[in-house]
Structure 1
């Protein structure tokens, strides 16, 4: 439906989501650059939530939804669900390589009072137990996901921030370029795993 104050609904532009959105989520994060802004704005790396909010503000004339808000999580999960079962297809070409490099560096960087990096748990110790929980391989192909500890849907960035809190590191702000770059690296790292959104996690 058309939101109050909007010029169009999502379906008004995209039609049947089962057709138009098939495979879309599997390609994000991705570089986005509007041709009308090319002269004044550099390319930006956007995750799916960022792309949805860009579309909302640019084409509907509405304010972006806040991070972790129910409307943003809901529509992100709905769009991603149209790609369920499809392999991730994140492209890392020359243009996106610098973003991938920064995401990889963050993945490998020790931080926090515990002086740990993502790789220490999710590459070296996946399958082991930590506080009674099995350490995962750290793939994000199921997000937005329903986590039992949250009792609701949450984004991959919420999970990444929880990891940062767990190692007593400063949590990066929602939507920060560094978190989106980390999402890009994780999507690449997951290879051709299938989209599982909305997955259920502990």
Structure 2
């Protein structure tokens, strides 16, 4: 009997190795875990609520602001933004650390438009980020192959697998070990950040990836990092590596 159990285990291991050797990509977008009606909402731009933010972002893109009275369009065409969001977080040469797309937008506001940065999760910042990210929809996530990011990526990976909060859980416990399972009435996704900023039906609003990460931290009863914290940026870096090659969906819709 013991030999049969050992043989069965060997078969399972061989099968897993074979599936891995075929190079089949088992990663799935969060959209794949949604109900058909929610998937349809994301796919149809006339139904996707996130497109309201994209349209607002397009208007802000053209609007002169700040002491310089420059608009984003004064320096960039929308077509020049294709593929930009798919590379973030990216290394900043001045700060010597990675920054997110929203942080880059605020940098441009301060340096080139000579105006104040937008508040995290504000309507205007989410709209501009959505408009820029929308230009990359359908393009593969392409985190930079920049050695200067290695240390930050490693810290992000460590944080992804690190237990936290009173529930003593890590990101990996839910999104690796139990992906596809259920948490209450919801199916647990693999946590690939392909649709951000996303419109969440739970929020009845659009939100950033950092808002979702902070929600997860609260869910395991941990103290959430502040918006823009280096810890969150590093975690975003790791998530981008996990999603490398998957397609950008912005604006995504999620339950």
- What TM-score, normalized to structure 2? 0.74
Q: Distance in 2 between matches of 1:63 and 1:6?
A: 12
**Partner in structure 1 of residue 69 of structure 2:** 7
Q: Which residue of 2 aligns with 1:32?
A: 92
Match of 1:103 among 140, 151, 156: 156
Report the equivalent of 2:59.
none
Partner of 2:147: 94
> Structure 2 stretches of 5 or more lacking a match?
1-62
Choose from 228, 242, 253 the match for 1:175.
Answer: 228
Q: How does 1:105-184 map to 2 (within 5 A)?
A: 105-184=158-237
Is 1:20 the counterpart of 2:80? The answer is: yes
Q: Secondary structure at the match of 2:131?
A: helix
Kept in 1, the 8 Å contact 2:66–2:114? The answer is no
C-alpha offsets along residues 87-127 of structure 1, whole Å, 9 cap, x if unaligned? 01102432110010111111010000000000000001011
User: Which has the greater radius of gyration?
Assistant: 2
Which structure has more helix as a fraction of its residues?
2
TM-score w.r.t. length of structure 1: 0.93
Q: Give the alignment's Cα RMSD to 1 decimal.
A: 1.0
Which runs of 5 or more structure 1 residues have no equivalent in the other structure? 35-41
**Aligned partners of 1:83 and 1:49: how far apart in 2?**
15
How many pairs does the alignment contain? Answer: 193
CA contact (8 A) 1:92 1:100 kept: no
